[in-house]
Amino acid sequence: MGLSYEESKKLVFKGMILLGVVTIVEVLIALMGNGHLIDGFTMPKWLMYPMMIGLSLYKAYFIVYEFMHMKYEVRALALSVLMPTLLLVWGVIAFFQEGSSWGARRAQILEKDAKPASEISIPAENTNETKDTLIIE
C-alpha cells in the first residue's frame, strides 16, 4: 500500500476529522445561509449552492481516493471506474434543462389541460421561436 501501518492509522484519523469538519461546514452554510443562525443574515443561493456542491464533491473524492484506496490502484483501473461516471455530467445538464423547461411552461401546460383536446391548436409562432425564450426564463 506504500504506507506503513502507523502512517495509515494516522491517515484514517485525519480522514475522520476532515470528513466531520467538512460536513459541519456544509451544515453551517445551509443554516446560516437560510437565516437560522444570525438574525436577519441570509446568503444568496448562487453563493451557497456552489460551496455546498464543491464541498460534497471533495468529500466524495476523499472517500474514493483514500478510504477506497483508489489512489494506490493502477492508473488504468482508476480510469476504467471513473471515466464512465463523466457521462453523468451530460445526464445532469440534459435532464435539468428539460426539468426547467417544464417549469417555465407550467402556465402554458395548465392552460392546455383545462381545454378539451379538440380545441387545442398550437399557433405557428409558438412552436419554434418562443420556445427558446421560454427556456431562458
Partner 1 sequence: MATDTHIAEHEVQDTGSAWSGGQEPFKASYGKLMMWYFLVSDAFTFAGFLIAYGSLRFSMPTWPVPDFVFSTFPGGFHHMPLIFVTVMTFILILSSVTMVRAVQEGHRENKRGVVKWMALTIVGGLMFLGCQAWEWTTLIAGEHTTILTNPFGTHIEAGTYMEGDGHDIKEGDTFDAGAPYLIHQVDGEFKQLQYKTEAGEVKQQAFGPKAFGALFFFITGFHGFHVFSGVLFLLIIMINVASGLYVKRKNGYEMVEKIGLYWHFVDLVWVFVFLVFYLL
Residues that bind partner 1 in the complex, under the rule CB under 8 A: 1, 5, 8-9, 12-13, 15-16, 19-20, 23-24, 26-27, 29-31, 34, 36, 49, 52-53, 56, 59-60, 63-64, 67-68, 73-74, 76-77, 80-81, 84-85, 88, 91-92, 95-96, 98-103, 106
Phi first, then psi, for residue 8 (nearest 5°) are -70, -30
Looking at the Cβ atoms of 91 and 130, the one nearer to partner 1 is: 91
Helix (H, G, I), strand (E, B) or coil at 83: helix
- The span from the CA of 85 to the CA of 81, in Å, is 8
Contact status, residue 70 vs residue 64, Cβ threshold 8 Å: yes
- The span from the CA of 72 to the CA of 15, in Å, is 16
Contact status, residue 134 vs residue 105, Cβ threshold 8 Å: yes
Extract the C-alpha cell encoding 121: 391548436
Looking at the Cβ atoms of 90 and 123, the one nearer to partner 1 is: 90
Among 65, 69, 62, smallest CA distance to 22 is for 62
Torsion over CA of 86, 47, 135 and 100, rounded to 10 degrees? Answer: 70
CB of 125 to partner 1, least distance (A): 24
CB of 128 to partner 1, least distance (A): 22
CB of 115 to partner 1, least distance (A): 21
Looking at the Cβ atoms of 16 and 120, the one nearer to partner 1 is: 16
CB of 44 to partner 1, least distance (A): 13
CB of 118 to partner 1, least distance (A): 27
Looking at the Cβ atoms of 110 and 124, the one nearer to partner 1 is: 110
